[in-house]
Amino acid sequence: MKNEDLKGLISALLVPYNEDGTVNEAGLRQIIRHNIENMKIDGLYVGGSSGENFMLDTDTKKQIFDIAKDEVKDEVLLIAQVGGTNLYEAIELGQYATELGYNAISAVTPFYYKFSFEEVKQYYFDLVDKVDNRLIVYSIPALTGVEIGVSQFMELFENDKIIGVKFTAADFFLLERLRKAAPDHLIYSGFDEMLLPAVINNVDGAIGSTYNVNGLRSRKIMELAQEGNIKEALSIQNDTNDLIEAILDNGLYPTLKQLLKLQGCDKGSFLARKPMASATQKQINRSKEIYDAYLKDVK
């Protein structure tokens, strides 16, 4: 697969859990089919924040990679997020996902400790040295505290196996400068609520959690913006942001899981992985209101 084939609208895959913290496999398979058949996405980003990945042990991460690949086969592209603070686990997971046939791996910048850029760079270089796959940097400074500038991105891109970045930041000056500096590398928008300005800045695709439930609208935003129909794209982004604002006010992951259930993903438990809280009855009731107001009639 060429890098060109990794472009598009990609859902950051949500994962439903049982009361004991185990993966609800039947529910996960439903979510995957829903993304492919109903949301019409181009790919799945597996093992990211939306899957509550940073609360999981290595075996559970592998289980999710297994289920996703088994369900998807080759219908859409698959990107495995393998990163964290443990380089050796990242290498193990990267090798595992590559053996399964994932089209690329991704890795969040190592966080918690205040790593220097040279340490971050070496983390990525060590990872791709041990994993025979292409890598997409996952940059989300609001959660990791790791800021990467244009010149630093370009140092990372000197490694041929580092092909792009999931850019989850609101710095559109940085995005524009990076796009100009790295026209041949993949840049994915990581903030769903800023999809339109990201597409205007010529990103190659988008990776986000709300595409699990709002993929059809998001596709229209991308296509209209690429066609130059900014006015209509902005109108749909406005509707999308009304939805996102309501979801955020009600609790992001609990609400998304309730919306998935209302869209037909109803097999088994759709709880969060503790210590993250699952939906309260109040959140469940509000999710139904959000669904009726913003998603019920979307086609």
DSSP H or E run through 165: strand 162-167
Q: Which domain holds residue 157?
A: 8-295
- DSSP for 1-30 reads --GGGG-EEEEE----B-TTS-B-HHHHHH
Confidence at residue 81, expressed as pLDDT on a 0 to 100 scale: 98
How confident is the model at residue 144, as a pLDDT?
82
| Domain contains 93 | yes
pLDDT of residue 143: 77
Q: Is residue 122 part of a domain?
A: yes
Cross-strand bridge partners of residue 285? none
pLDDT at 147: 85
Report the number of distinct structural domains present in the chain. Answer: 1
Model pLDDT, residue 4: 82
CATH number at residue 112: 3.20.20.70
Please indicate if the annotation marks 193 as binding a ligand.
yes
Within a 13 Å sphere around the CA of 51, how many CA atoms are in the beta-carbon half? 30
Residue 60 DSSP SS3: helix
Residue 2, in any domain of the structure: no
Residue 50 lies in a domain: yes
Is 190 known to sit in a ligand binding site? yes
> Is residue 1, in this structure, part of any structural domain at all?
no
| CA contacts within 13 A on the Cβ side of 72 | 29
Beta bridge partners of 45: 12, 79
CB 290 within 8 A of CB 298: no
245 in a structural domain: yes
The one-digit pLDDT tens for each residue of the chain (299 residues) are: 678 889 999 999 999 999 999 999 999 999 999 999 999 999 999 999 999 999 999 999 999 999 999 999 999 999 999 999 999 999 999 999 999 999 999 999 999 999 999 999 999 999 999 999 999 999 988 678 778 899 999 999 999 999 999 999 889 999 999 999 999 999 999 999 999 999 999 999 999 999 999 999 999 999 999 999 999 999 999 999 999 999 999 999 999 999 999 999 999 999 999 999 999 999 999 999 999 999 999 87
Say if residue 168 carries a ligand binding annotation. Answer: yes
Helices (H), the chain: 25-37, 58-72, 87-100, 117-130, 141-144, 150-157, 172-181, 195-200, 211-227, 230-250, 252-262, 281-290
Q: Is 49 annotated as a binding residue?
A: yes
In a domain, 243, yes or no: yes
What 96-101 contacts at long range (C-beta under 8 Å, 24+ apart), as own/partner pairs, is 96/62, 96/65, 97/46, 97/65, 97/133, 98/131, 98/132, 98/133, 100/65, 100/66, 100/69, 101/69, 101/74
| pLDDT (0 to 100) of residue 140 | 85
Closest CA to 250 of 214, 292, 222, 290: 290
Q: What is the pTM of this model?
A: 0.97
Residues with catalytic roles: 138, 166
User: What does each C-alpha distance from 213 to 156, 158, 194 come to in angstroms?
Assistant: 33, 37, 17
3 inside domain: no
Q: What are phi and psi of 145, to 5 degrees?
A: 75, 10
